[in-house]
Amino acid sequence: MLRRRAQEEDSTVLINVSPPEAENRGPYGSTAHTSEPGGQQAAACRAGAGSPAESRIADFVLVLEEDLKLDWQQNSASRDRTDTHRTWRETFLDNLRAAGLRVDQHDVQDGNTTVHYALLSASWAVLCYYAEDLRLKLPLQELPNQASNWSAELLAWLGIPNVLLEVVPDVPPEYYSCQFRVNKLPRFLGSDNQDTFFTSTKRHQILFEILAKTPYGHEKKNLLGIHQLLAEGVLSTAFPLHDGPFKTPPEGPQDPHLNQRQVLYQHWAHWGKWYKYQPLDHVRRYFGEKVALYFAWLGFYTGWLLPAAVVGTLVFLVGCFLVFSDIPTQELCGSKDSFEMCPLCLDCPFWLLSSACALAQAGRLFDHGGTVFFSLFMALWAVLLLEYWKRKSATLAYRWDCSDYEDIEERPRPQFAASAPTTAPNPITGEDEPYFPERSRARRMLAGSVVIVVMVAVVVMCLVSIILYRAIMAIVVSRSGNTLLAAWASRIASLTGSVVNLIFILILSKIYVSLAHVLTRWEMHRTQTKFEDAFTLKVFIFQFVNFYSSPIYIAFFKGRFVGYPGNYHTLFGVRNEECAAGGCLIELAQELLVIMVGKQVINNMQEVLIPKLKGWWQKFQLCSKKRKAGASPGASQGPWEADYELVPCEGLFDEYLEMVLQFGFVTIFVAACPLAPLFALLNNWVEIRLDARKFVCEYRRPVAERAQDIGIWFHILAGITHLAVTSNAFLLAFSSDFLPRAYYQWTRAHDLRGFVNFTLARAPPSFAAAHNRTCRYRAFRDDDGHYSQTYWNLLAIRLAFVIVFEHVVFSIGRLLDLLVPDIPESVEIKVKREYYLAKQALAENEALFGTNGAKDEQRQGSELSPHWTPFRVPKASQLRQ
C-alpha cells in the first residue's frame, strides 16, 4: 500500500540532527567537538582502548578555496550568494558534528587565497554504530587464501617456471564474514584492536555515507548531501586520504613497514611489472571492489587477446605470402592498358586498372580464405571470453563477499530518497522506504528514449552531411585549375571532412553527456548501480553511433548504390561515392587502423600527459600562492595538502568505454583487419600499468565502492558479440571477394585465370557513344546496365552464406554456453557448504535458546540471508545520550 510522504519538519530529514551551539565559526563553522553517540550500543563499543581517531590524522577531507579579492569586488547579489553558501557550510558542518563526527579545521593562507581544510574522523563508537546501521560485512573467521590462476596452475603442472608470478608482501587474508552487530562484537575477528578492526576503506564508506545523507537545509528543496554542495560550488572538493606517500622509504622496497599504497606502487603500478600478475586482492583492499573488478576484467580480457593476436598475425602472414602467388592479382598488375576504367566522379578522368596494383596487393593481405577461418575463430573466441569471464566474476564475487550486493545490501541513492514522492513497505522487511512508482519511471524512460533517438538521428544527419561535404569538396578542388590541388582533390576532401567530423563529434559528445545526466536523474533510479547502468547505456548508444558510423558506412553502404555509367544515382544532387580502386575492404581496413590505432595512441598520450599537466599546474598554483604569502614552497605540508595537489579521480566510465569500444573494433570488423587483436594486446599491456599508475600515484584516493560485477558493460559486450557475428557474415558475403572467387572456381576456371575480366562489366553503348570511347566498371551487369544472371546467383549464394554462418556460430556458441557453467563447481560447493553450516548453527541455537531466540538470532546476524532495510541515521537525541 502506497502512502504519500507527510509534510515533515526540517528536523526529520535523512539525518535527523539539531545543530549544537556554535561559537567562533569560520567558513566551516565551529570546530568544537560534540560528545560521541551513546546508548547501550555505544557503551558496548566503548569497552577497551580510546578512540582510534586519536591516532589518525583524518579519514576524510573537505576543501574550500576562498578568493579574498572577490569579497571586495562582489555586487549585492554575489554577496548574498556567498553568505548563503557560508550558511550552508556552517549548517552542514554542525550537522556532521551532531551525527558524531570529529571536525578539525586547518586554514592555509596563500596570498589572496585561503584554502580551508576540514578534516573528518569518526570515533570507535560512531564507527560501530554506523557499521551496524549500514549493515557492513566484517570478518568472523580467517580462511586460507583461495586465489588461483589457470595459467599458473598449468605452468606448475607442466613443470615450467612461471615468470609471471611474483610474491607480493602483506597478502590480504580471506574471511568468512557477516553483517556487523554491536551485541555480537566479541565474535568478530580482530575486535580487540580498535585501530585495525575497521579498515581504511570501511571507515571511508561510513563517512561518505554520512556526508551523502547529511542535510544543510530543507529536505523538500533537496538541500542535502555532499554531492549537492560540490555541484553548487559551496565546497571545492571532498576526498579520503591516501595511506601515505607512494614512494618507498630510504630503507628500500623490502622494508617491512611499507604502507598499502607503497606495496601497490612497488608490485603493481611500476612499469617494470608489465608482465606480472596483478595483485587484485591488494587492489580490492585499498580501492574497493568496483575498481578491483575493472582491473580484473582488463587483465582477463588482455590475457584472452594473446591467442587472438597470435592467430590474427598468422592469418596476416598467410596474406603476405598469397600476395605474390595470387593469379588474379598478377593478372591485374600485368594488365597494362587492357582494362580502361570509367571515371570515378563527374569530372574525373578515365583510368587504367593496372594503376591500382599496389591497392590490390594490399587488399589481398586481408581478403583471402584465411579471413573466413579467422572470422569464425573470433566469433567463438568472443563467446568463450564472456562465458569464462562469468565464471571469473562469480569466483571473485564469492571471494570478495559481494555476491548478493545488488539484491540485498545496496542502499537507495540519497537523491532518490530525498525526492521520492511516496513510501511503500519493503517486501522483505515490511518497513516503509522511499518509493517511486514503476509506471511513472517507465513513462520517463520512454520519453528519454525518444530524446536518445533524436540525438542519434542528429549524428546520422551529421554523417550524411560529411559524406556530401567530401563529394562536393572533391569536385570544387578538382575544378580549381591548380594541377597540384586537382591531383590531391580526394585526399584534401577526406582530410577536411575528418576534421569537420571530429568537431561535430566533440560538440555533440559534450551536449549529449550533459543531457544523459539530466535524463538519468529525472528517471529516478533507486540505487547507484541502476543509475550508473542507465547512464552508461545512454552514453554508449551515442558513442557507438559516433565511432562506428564511418566504418559501418564504408563496410555496408559505400559503393552499393552507385548505379552504372550514364545512369549514376545521386544524393541531394551529388553522385554517390564509389569504393577506391582496391575495393571497399581495404578502405575499411585503413579506416579501422587509423581510428583504432590512432585513438589508442592519442588516448595513451592523454592519459600520460593530462594527469601530469593537471598535477603540475595544481602544484604550481599552490606553490606560487605560498611564495606570494611569504611561505617557503619547500616547507613541510600535511598529507591533506599533498593529496589536494593530486588530480581528482573521475571514475571508471571512460576506462570501460575505451575498452568496450576497442572490443567492438576487434570483433565487429575483424574480417577486414586480422591485426586488430595484436594492436589491442599491445595497447592493453600499456593500459593496465598506465591506469594503475594513475590510481596509485596521480589520482586522489577515490571512495571505495562495492560492486557485484562490471554491471551493464557485460550486457553491452554480449550485444557486441552477437552483432559481430552478423557483421562479419555480411562483410565476408558482400564486401569480400571470397564468394565471387569460389563461384568462379566452381563454374569457370579452378585456377582463377580470367577472374579480373569476370568481375568487370562494360559501359552501356549510349555512354560509350557520348564519350567516343568504351570503359569497364566493377559490377555484374550486362551491356544495357541491367543485373546479369551471375549477380542473382551470387546474391543467393551470399544470403545463404550469411544464414549458414550465423546459424553455425550461434549454435556452437549456444552449445558452449551449455557446456561451460556460469559458476565454477568449486564455488557452488563452497556456497552449499556455508548454507549447510548456517542451517546447522541455526538448529543448534534453536535447541539452546528456543524458537524465539533462534528467530531473533537469525534476524540480527544471518551470514547467508541478510535482510535489507532502508537507510536510517540516528536522531540527534540518540547521538547525544
pLDDT in tens, 707-765: 889 989 999 999 999 999 999 899 888 888 889 999 999 988 888 888 888 989 998 88
**pLDDT over 70 at 24, yes or no:** no
Cα radius of gyration (the chain): 33
Nearest-angstrom CA–CA distance, 580 and 598: 22
Say what the pLDDT of residue 292 is: 95
What pLDDT was estimated at residue 119? 93
Does residue 280 sit in helix, strand or coil? Answer: helix
- The rounded distance, in Å, linking the Cα atoms of 105 and 27 is 10
Cell digits for 120? Answer: 573528518
Task: List beta partners, residue 432.
Answer: 425
User: Which pLDDT belongs to residue 869?
Assistant: 33
Q: Where are the beta strands (DSSP E) in 180-305?
A: 237-240
Q: Which of 797, 781, 677 is nearest to 732 (CA)?
A: 797
Segment 528-556, tens digit of pLDDT:
888 888 999 988 888 888 778 878 888 88
Q: Looking at residue 428, what is its pLDDT?
A: 62
Sort 366 into a burial class: Cβ within 10 Å, 0-12 / 13-18 / 19+: buried
Q: Which range among 195-204, 282-291, 354-363, 782-791 shows the weakest confidence by mean pLDDT?
A: 354-363
Q: Which of 203, 181, 187 is nearest to 52 (CA)?
A: 203
Question: How far is CA 857 from its chain centroid?
Answer: 41
Given a contact cutoff of 8 angstroms between Cβ atoms, the answer to whether 831 and 404 are in contact is no
- Residue 382: the pLDDT is 92
Asked whether 708 and 342 are in contact (CB, 8 A), the reply is no
Q: Residue 314: pLDDT above 50?
A: yes
Helices (H), 669-711: 676-693
Read off the C-alpha cell for 249. Answer: 622509504
The burial of 364, by beta-carbon neighbours within 10 Å (0-12 exposed, 13-18 middle, 19 or more buried), is given as buried
d(CA 3, CA 432): 9
Amino acid type, 480: S
Considering all CA atoms of the chain, what is the largest pairwise distance in Å, rounded to the nearest integer? 107
Helices (H), 334-399: 357-366, 369-399
Residue 416: alpha-carbon gap to chain centroid: 23
CA distances for 768 relative to 182, 335, 561, 785, angstroms? 94, 21, 21, 13
Distance CA 675, CA 778 (A): 28
Nearest to 464 by CA among 397, 539, 550: 550
- Say which amino acid occupies 252: G
On the question of pLDDT at 44 being above 70, the answer is: no
Q: How confident is the prediction for the chain on average, in pLDDT?
A: 79
- Return the amino acid letter for 424: A
Residue whose C-alpha is closest to residue 87's, from 141, 22, 131, 154: 22
Cβ contacts of 335 within 8 Å, gap of 6 or more: 352, 353, 354, 756
Structural contact between residues 122 and 61, judged by C-beta atoms closer than 8 angstroms: no
- As a dihedral over the C-alpha atoms of residue 322, residue 328, residue 333, residue 335, rounded to 10 degrees, the angle is 160
Instruction: Report the percentage of the chain scoring pLDDT > 70.
Output: 80
pLDDT digits (tens, 9 = 90+) for 552-599: 888 888 878 888 888 888 777 677 777 766 677 777 887 787 777 777
Helices 676-693 and 653-668, packing angle to 10 deg:
170
Of 40-49, 660-669, 847-856, the poorest mean pLDDT is in: 40-49
**At 667, is the pLDDT very low, low, confident or very high (cuts 50, 70, 90)?**
very high
Mean pLDDT, residues 155-161 taken together? 82
Compare 429 and 269 and report the one with higher pLDDT: 269
Reading the block at residue 353, the C-alpha cell is 586498372
Dist. CA 546–CA 538, nearest whole Å: 13
| Cβ atoms of residues 644 and 575 within 8 Å | no
Contact 290, 652 (CB under 8 A): yes
Tell me the pLDDT band of 436, cut-offs 50, 70 and 90.
confident
Cβ-count burial 248-271 (b if 16+ within 10 Å, e if not): beeeeeeeeebbbbbbbbbbbbbe
Q: Does the pLDDT of residue 293 top 90, yes or no?
A: yes
Any idea which residue has 586488430 for its cell? 676
- For 575, the enclosing helix (H) or strand (E) is strand 574-575
Q: To which residue does cell 563499543 refer? A: 45
Q: Can you tell me whether residue 241 is helix, strand or coil?
A: coil
Which pLDDT score, from 0 to 100, does residue 254 have?
57
The yes-or-no verdict on residue 417 having pLDDT over 90 is no
Across 536-540, 693-697, 861-865, least confident range: 861-865
Reduce the DSSP state of residue 275 to 3 states and report it.
Answer: coil
